[in-house]
């Protein structure tokens, strides 16, 4: 009892230390979980890379690619693209990153094919089938007077 007559409950110092250690362990556990979870979340949902670069990339001489042929190039933003020559004077540049989960699509038998879950796209990037929610991204292409093909920013 204290001076006013109220019953005072004495706290066991061991119990207090145990509660303190339990709280500390809980906080440490949350820290460990967040250290593991954050990179996993970033892997599953990566931050969008900017494809808004205004820089043009020299993809080399147009004559290097025969009609129906293609080459892989790196966009100024660091995104890999497939540059396809559809006709004598028509080129198209498509992002290789599949809109579904980001695997790299490949050009096979006149279509863009994603090996991860089977999405297919036409050579202009239009989705044909598979789990992709949208078409492949296209990039501006121009053939300059010196005969080189340049790839610019994303179309649309």
Q: Is 152 in the site for ligand FES (CB under 6 A)?
A: no
Q: Is 131 in the site for ligand FES (CB under 6 A)?
A: yes
Least CB distance from residue 88 to ligand FES, whole Å?
Answer: 31
Residues in the interface with ligand FES (CB under 6 A) total 11
Q: Is 60 in the site for ligand FES (CB under 6 A)?
A: no
Instruction: Give the footprint of ligand FES on residues 95-124 (CB under 6 A).
Output: 98, 100-101, 103, 114, 116-117, 119
Least CB distance from residue 136 to ligand FES, whole Å?
Answer: 10
Whole-angstrom Cα distance, residue 25 to residue 4?
38
Q: Where are the beta strands (DSSP E) in the chain?
A: 57-61, 70-74, 80-87, 90-95, 106-108, 111-113, 120-121, 127-129, 138-143, 148-154
Q: How many CB atoms lie within 10 A of CB 79?
A: 18
Whole-angstrom Cα distance, residue 139 to residue 51?
9
Interface residues with ligand FES (CB under 6 A) are 98, 100-101, 103, 114, 116-117, 119, 130-132
């Amino acid at each position: 009892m204290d001076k006013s007559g109220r019953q005072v409950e004495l706290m066991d110092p061991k119990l207090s230390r145990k509660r303190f250690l339990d709280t500390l362990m809980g906080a440490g556990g949350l820290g460990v979980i967040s250290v593991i979870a954050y990179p996993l979340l970033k892997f599953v949902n990566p931050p969008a890379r900017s494809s808004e670069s205004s820089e043009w990339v020299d993809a080399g001489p147009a004559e290097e690619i025969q009609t129906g042929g293609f080459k892989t190039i790196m966009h100024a933003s660091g995104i890999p693209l497939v540059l396809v020559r559809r006709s004598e004077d028509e080129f198209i540049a498509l992002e290789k990153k599949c809109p579904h989960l980001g695997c790299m699509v490949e050009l096979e038998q006149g279509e863009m094919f994603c090996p991860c879950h089977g999405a297919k796209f036409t050579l202009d990037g239009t989705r044909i089938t598979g789990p992709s929610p949208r078409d492949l991204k296209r990039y501006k292409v121009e053939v300059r007077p010196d005969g080189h093909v340049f790839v610019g920013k994303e179309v649309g």
